[in-house]
Amino acid sequence: MGKVVITYGTFDLPHVGHIRLLKRLKALGDYLIVGVSTDAFNAQKGKVSIYPFEERREIIASIGLVDKVIAEEHWAQKITDIQRYNVDILAMGDDWAGKFDDLSSDVEIVYLPRTEGISTTDIKTVISRVNEDKLLALECAIDQVSRLAKKLR
C-alpha cells in the first residue's frame, strides 16, 4: 500500500482550506485516511456542525484525494487507528501543534500550516452576522407594519 497518512477533523462547511490541506496530506504519502468526527464526538468537544456526520463523511469521501474515510468517535482511537491501518504519518493542522507528540514513538507526526484567511469558524461567524442583520431588519419591518396597522384602526 505504500506510505499511509492519517488525519482527523470535523470537516464541516468544506472550503478551499480543507481542499488545500487534503492535497498536502496526500502529497505526504501514497494512501490517505481521513477520520471525520461524529456528531456525538463533536458534542463532547463542544462543537456543533451544520452538516450531520453522514453528510460530512460523504463529502470527504467524494473528494478524489481521500482513499478511506473512517468515523472519529473519541480521542483515544488515534493510537488504535495507527496500529490497525499501519499508519506511517499522523498529520494535523498546525493549530494542533504539540497535542499529539505523545504518539511520536508509534508514528511520524506532521503539523501542517492552515490556509490563511479562511476557516470554518470564520464562515460560521459571517453566516451568523448575516442572519442577525436579517433578523434585525425583519423586526424593524414588523414594527413598522404594526405601527401602520394601529394608525389604520
- As annotated, the active-site residues are 45, 47
How far, in Å, CA of 40 to CA of 71, rounded?
Answer: 11
Contact 87, 81 (CB under 8 A): yes
How far, in Å, CA of 28 to CA of 23, rounded?
Answer: 9
* Three-state secondary structure readout of 28-78: CCCEEEEEEECHHHHHHCCCCCCCCHHHHHHHHHHCCCCCEEEEECCCCHH
